[in-house]
Structure 1
Amino acid sequence: MQFSGFSVTDHYPNEPRTIRDFYGEILDEIVLAERLGFRNYFVAEHHFHEYGVVSSPTTLLAAAAGRTTTIGLGVAVSVLPFHNPLVVAQDYAMLDQLSDGRLAMGVGSGYLKHEFDGFNLGPWEKRARFDEAIEIIERAWTGEPFSYHGLYHHVQNTRIAITPIQQPPPTWVAVIRPEAAYYVGRQGRNLMLIPYATASTMDELRQTVQEYQRGRQEAGHEGPADVAAALHTYVGVNDASARAEAEPALDRYVDTRLYSRSKRRFDDLNAAELILIGGPETVAKRVMALADVGVNHLMLLGNFGAMNAKRCTESLERFAADVAPATL
């Protein structure tokens, strides 16, 4: 099992810390994650709402590149329908260069209506826009001239001057539905999941991973695949203290979500074991249960709901010291 840090970067209008302060906290957390030996640290891209205040992940991750040397710097995810794919290809290639080959690229098609409305796009366009964009990005990253003609994007004998050091950078595709996981598997790409928003039970999560593996098998893809899942994480001294310290932040987070299935509060998510909140022993058991489902890369969503930065730090340190070794 690989472990990475992750923040959706939710920030609330009435909280005392400013957005600038919050950016500083995230950068400090990335430095901490590197010190603790985490594989990557991911930040989300979001627009037009307190749901997430990083509209340009490359900007924040470029700042992180100057403070770190080994940790992967990830986006989860770049919402491809909102962008010109050649700009995405160049911007993230530049980040890979600045970080000496540490880009971790998550991509997705988007799911929030207010974001599509803000960009004057119809959600029905997203699948075709995504499929076109990811092909253009991957072809552009080779550094060779190419042409492409789709419904939404046209490229004529173009090459980008900035290519990634990694050829290619590791890439994950985020999905919500099992049928989308199957499609990603057939393509031979890595998978990214957010179980609290997409599954009601661990069995549903297992079914999604199985659909992904079925797609890979039917298409003849061999070798290991990275199945990443992002879960809210807080490791307390014990279960009772973890709940007391994390429940208000988790409920604040889910109460401001913009889609109904994700508005399950602590008791529901805890009963379904779709959060990693508890003492070290409880969290370690849930990590092992996720491994049994087929997840081999955990993205620890540990900075959420305006949680105190000191508590976020202590939780990550407990995870590294007490949980990760127990899952080996």
Structure 2
Amino acid sequence: MVKSWLFEIFSYPYDPDPAKFDPQLCKELYDWKLDSWVAAEDLGFDGVFFSEHHFTPYSISPSPNLLVATLAQRTSRMQLGVMANITAFHNPRRLAEEGAMLDHLTGGRLEVGMGRGVDEPEFLREGVKMEETRGRFEESVALIQTAWKEPVWSYHGEYYHYDQVGIWPRPLRPELPIWVTALSPKTVSWAAQQNFKFTSVFSPTDEMRTIFEGYKKAAAEAGREAEPTEMGVCRNVFIADSEQEARDLAEPAFDNLFATFKEAAVFSDLDNVPAGYEHYQSFFRPFAGDSVSFDALVEIGAICVGTPQTVRDQIVSQVETIGCGNFLLWGSFGNLTKDQTMRSYQLYGEHVVPALQSLTV
């Protein structure tokens, strides 16, 4: 069985000038997005992952844990989580407390995602040194896990120090499922060694297979066998009733998405990235130019667009090639409307969810 998840980075799709921000349009956007997430449960999705981004219209989800708490009250079955809380932007004790609260509020449906972050403009605006993110990330995760398990604990690292403290409440489950977003081989290997689940995005399907093989190898070296259920791939997906309609609606929406993505995420100087981010020089380079080819992204599998049958076959082929047990659908992006998004989700639920549920990877 391959699980289907919604993944949400939702942009403010109107005028990007901060002086022209429209609170009413933003409120309407939140309202229909919430409606779409509630509908996803009835459509057979297994869960929803929200995202954390700051300071630009690329995303209006700076505090995704609030979205988890909100959706928990309107659903009963789906798993709910964040992919991912960026640990360098948070006090880890506070993240541990929020995770514990959310485990109670979701009735044990919480999935915890954490990442070190990669979007340079966010770190510059926050004043956090990117050279420190890996150390802060690994310390934060270790501290959070200890806080969930131990009534009273101490922690002394390079960045965080606590003596004889405890959090109230602790979670329903002492070991919450942890996900890591990863592209660099070092992070992928670390996730496997820590027995964390992980997802990846944008890379071509064949490269994804290589990334996942690296995860399995690292897990084996740590003395365990990695399962497909521990791995997920995230893709932009849009489905319509005809190939032409899907293309006509999806391509301008992608243009809108990647225009904001370039501003919010890509390094200003790809030849001189912060230490520890060298892997991302090649990853970001295609996005650094004036345009990203829609057809090229379809060709490498980063985008799945078309009729229900076309998209079903694309996704089934990808998860079989990659060997993963989770598919994350980034299906609401750019300037797609509520009706367009909801129709795409409906068609995915009718045609793709059953195909993935019956699939053995």
Structure 1 length as normaliser, TM-score? 0.94
SS in structure 2 opposite 1:277? strand
Measure the CA separation in 2 of the matches of 1:170 and 1:276: 28
Report matched runs for 1:177-326 at 5 Å: 177-194=184-201, 196=202, 199=203, 201-222=204-225, 224=227, 225-258=229-262, 259=266, 260-261=284-285, 263=287, 264-292=292-320, 293-326=322-355
Measure the CA separation in 2 of the matches of 1:265 and 1:8: 21
Structure 2 length as normaliser, TM-score? 0.86
SS in structure 1 opposite 2:85? strand
1:24 pairs with 2:53: no
Measured after TM superposition, the shift of residue 96 of structure 1 is 1.5
Give a deviation string over 1:154-188, Cα, whole Å, max 9, x none. Answer: 11111111122233222111012233212211222
Measured after TM superposition, the shift of residue 202 of structure 1 is 1.6
The one-letter code matched in structure 1 to 2:149 is: T
Query: Relative to structure 2, which stretch is displaced further, 150-159 or 184-193?
Result: 184-193
The one-letter code matched in structure 1 to 2:95 is: V
Measured after TM superposition, the shift of residue 253 of structure 1 is 0.4
Count of equivalent residues? 324
Give the share of equivalent positions with the same residue, in percent. Answer: 31
The one-letter code matched in structure 2 to 1:69 is: S
SS in structure 2 opposite 1:141? helix
For structure 1, the 5+ residue unaligned runs are: none
Measured after TM superposition, the shift of residue 312 of structure 1 is 0.7
Measure the CA separation in 1 of the matches of 2:14 and 2:240: 27
Query: Relative to structure 2, which stretch is displaced further, 205-214 or 229-238?
Result: 229-238
Measure the CA separation in 1 of the matches of 2:349 and 2:164: 48
Output the aligned Cα RMSD.
Answer: 1.7
Q: Is the 8 A contact 1:85 1:133 kept in 2?
A: yes
Task: Show the counterpart of 1:4.
Answer: 5
Query: Relative to structure 2, which stretch is displaced further, 108-117 or 214-223?
Result: 214-223
For structure 2, the 5+ residue unaligned runs are: 17-21, 267-283
Bigger relative contact order (CA 8 A; separation at least 6): 2
SS in structure 2 opposite 1:257? helix
Q: Is the 8 A contact 1:254 1:265 kept in 2?
A: no
SS in structure 1 opposite 2:213? helix
Runs of 4+ with deviation above 6 angstroms = none
